[in-house]
């Protein structure tokens, strides 16, 4: 059975990979780890090294601290100690050959070896043509823009690759909340992490709301849907703890100019 810590880390890394828009081959092109290594890390078969987590966070435009903490909380699999091996038995004594016999044997071996190599070379296929390096994979851009992004998930729409953090706040329960804005998509949304099951966050304008429903979600980022915002728009996010305590809110204005 997969430990819960490993399952949470696998979900979080899969979320980061989805945000990059890269395939396994694309990750191998842009990091110091191979395609097969990323396959093991993203499917939970191998605990990724801290360097791999940091490089994936950099591609997704996310700070690595939260994901490194998840990685460090994941137990390392224990390896069974190697089985004891018995000392090798001494080789049997070799018969002594006279000088003429040795020369005859060496000549026969050389003749057989030369013939075998010649026959094997004749069966080899011709060399392949010169290898051409494939172009480096490039992450796809956003899948929407402006009004067409309204109500969509910022990660699925690829609007969360390089957003602007408009405001952040640590709540009384220890959870964190942020207001984010994507100049490329012209949208804003709110997110929270370090939460508990039942916590929720909402955002205005747009009326988007997100709720923590599972322990896995409590250990990762939870996002509201996006709302279309232009520079100068006033946005507000409110965190509502599952305990029923009063909510906490942050307010900001969208800054900068939206990209076409």
Residue 46 sits at the vertex; the CA angle it makes with 40 and 51, to the nearest 5 degrees, is 90
Q: Is the peptide bond before 205 cis (omega within 30 degrees of 0)?
A: yes
- For residue 218, what are its two tokens? 């409590």
Between the alpha carbon of residue 89 and those of residues 86, 92, 93, 166, the distances in Å are 9, 9, 12, 73
CB-CB neighbours of 229 under 10 Å:
24
8 Å CB contact between 2 and 44: yes
pTM attached to this predicted model: 0.53
Q: pLDDT tens-digit profile of 215-250?
A: 878 877 899 999 999 999 999 999 999 999 999 999
| Gap between the Cα atoms of 241 and 195, Å rounded | 8
User: Hey, what domains does the chain have and what are their CATH numbers?
Assistant: 1-76 (1.10.260.40), 143-260 (2.60.40)
> What pLDDT tens digit does each residue of the chain (260 aa) get?
567 778 888 888 998 888 888 899 889 888 888 888 899 999 988 899 999 999 998 888 888 888 888 888 887 665 445 555 555 566 655 555 455 555 565 565 555 555 554 554 444 444 444 333 333 444 467 889 888 999 999 888 888 877 899 999 999 999 999 999 999 999 999 999 889 999 999 999 987 899 999 887 887 789 999 999 999 999 999 999 999 999 999 999 998 655 54
Q: pLDDT tens-digit profile of 64-96?
A: 888 888 888 887 665 445 555 555 566 655 555
């Amino acid at each position: 059975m997969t430990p819960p810590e490993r399952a949470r880390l696998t979900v979080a890394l899969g979320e980061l990979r989805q945000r990059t828009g890269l395939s396994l081959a694309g990750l191998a092109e842009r990091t110091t780890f191979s395609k097969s290594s990323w396959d093991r890390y993203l499917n939970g078969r191998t605990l990724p090294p801290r360097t791999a987590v940091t490089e994936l966070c950099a591609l997704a435009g996310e700070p690595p601290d939260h994901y490194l903490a998840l990685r460090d909380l994941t137990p390392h699999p224990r390896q069974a100690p190697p089985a004891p091996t018995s000392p090798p038995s001494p080789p049997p004594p070799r018969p002594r050959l006279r000088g003429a016999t040795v020369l005859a044997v060496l000549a026969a071996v050389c003749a057989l070896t030369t013939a075998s190599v010649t026959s094997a070379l004749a069966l080899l296929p011709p060399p392949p043509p010169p290898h051409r390096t494939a172009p480096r994979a490039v992450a796809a851009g956003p899948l929407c823009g402006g009004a067409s992004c309204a109500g969509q998930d910022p990660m699925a729409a690829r609007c969360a690759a390089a957003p602007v953090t408009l405001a952040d706040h640590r709540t009384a329960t220890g959870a964190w909340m942020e207001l984010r804005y994507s100049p490329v998509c012209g949208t804003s949304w709110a997110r929270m992490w370090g939460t508990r099951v039942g916590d929720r966050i909402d955002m205005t304008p747009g009326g988007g709301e997100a709720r923590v429903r599972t322990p896995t979600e409590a250990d990762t980022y939870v996002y509201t849907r996006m709302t279309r915002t232009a520079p100068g728009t006033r946005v507000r996010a409110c965190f509502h703890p599952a305990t029923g305590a009063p909510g906490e809110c942050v307010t900001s204005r969208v800054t900068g100019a939206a990209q076409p």
